[in-house]
A and B are shown apart, each in its own frame.
Chain A
Amino acid sequence: MMQNDDQEIIAQLKQESTREVAFHRLVSMYQEPLYWHVRKILLSHEDSDDVLQNTFIKVWKSIHKFREESSLYTWLYRIATNEAITCLNNNKRRSMLPLNEVSDILMHNLNSDPYLEGDKIQLKLQEAIVQLPEKQRIVFNLRYFDEMKYDDMAAILDTSVGALKASYHHAVKKVEEYMKNTD
């Protein structure tokens, strides 16, 4: 059902006469899941809003290049992930921190973002996730919060299922250790 809907939207997006209506429909369907996916990577609402807009603008510009080798869902998530990583790298460059200090930026975002509500344990979990390397962080978020299948994750992140499982396993271990050691 979902696949048929996606195919219909793609077909309508590629036609001049139905493009705008189809685009509105696409945004309505995917704005929330993509937003939360990006928000988990960036933590800041402002950055996430920018990235979400960039993602849909990119979709608008390049829908005619979409060869439908992957599903629309995978393609959108891939664009959103890449845009989020680009935003993170731009923030790193602006702050002139070494590449492995991005956790400081994210921690700052976590502590200063006004759109943050949650209990102590939820915030502590987020702190633990911030300590993870970039790839592990994305994999952990997709698997733990979104319960995404490894096959879908592999298509989005262009990584093998085995590597993703290993990545998730390591991420879980590190998060556990952080939660136990910081009370």
Chain B
Amino acid sequence: MKENKKNVPESSKLKNELPFVVPANYFDDFYARLHTRLETEELVLPKKRNKVIRLLKPAFGLAASFALIIMLVYWPVKTYLPKYLAKTKNIETGISNEDETYLSMINNLDENSFFALLTEVSEPELLQEVGLNEDEFLSYLSSSISDYEIFIQSEN
């Protein structure tokens, strides 16, 4: 205070009062106006969010989106094109149920039994089964063999 009195501009032996005023009841109403503004900006009661949920929210959203897409595609196809789905399934596997049974039997055989099975069926019967005569059968067998290999075998 003493320092202020010493440094006060001489031409104003002023009281250090301000020439400003406020509207009537300004400070009485201030909090109400402030509160209204806070409510408007939705800051009055900021919600505390669970941290875990906040972190997992994007993952949940993504999972929900995928599920929705799958349902939007799969369900109409299943409802309106069931045959298409069945056909697609068969093409994917490429093997019918009968073939699957036959193959599983073959897989369970040991080598000797497998060869014995092959030789059980005589050649003419085999040819009859597949609907080929002997010459056609020979040409089928040799189709994958080169001329050189045929020559070497005949010489031997």
Contacts and interface: CB of A to CB of B under 8 A. Distances in A.
Interface string A40-52: 1001010001001
A25 to B, nearest CB: 10
B20 A45 contact: yes
A97 interface: no
A99 interface: no
Nearest to A146: B16
Contacts of A125: 9, 12, 14
Contacts of B14: 121-122, 125
Interface residues on B, range: 20 to 34
B121 to A, nearest CB: 87
Nearest to B47: A16
Interface string B1-42: 100100111111010111111110011001101100110010
A31 interface: yes
Contacts of A28: 31
B31 A24 contact: yes
B18 A53 contact: no
A176 interface: yes
Interface in A136-163: 143-145, 147
A56 interface: yes
Most chain-A CB neighbours within 10 Å: which of B7, B27, B37, B41?
Answer: B7
Interface residues of A, number: 44
A60 B41 CA distance: 12
Nearest to A128: B9
A172 B7 contact: yes
A172 B5 CA distance: 11
18 contacts: A36-B20, A40-B18, A52-B30, A53-B33, A60-B43, A115-B20, A115-B21, A115-B22, A116-B19, A117-B19, A117-B21, A121-B11, A121-B12, A122-B18, A144-B4, A145-B16, A145-B18, A147-B1
Given A128-B9, A179-B10, 7 more contacts: A24-B31, A53-B37, A118-B18, A119-B19, A147-B1, A176-B10, A180-B10
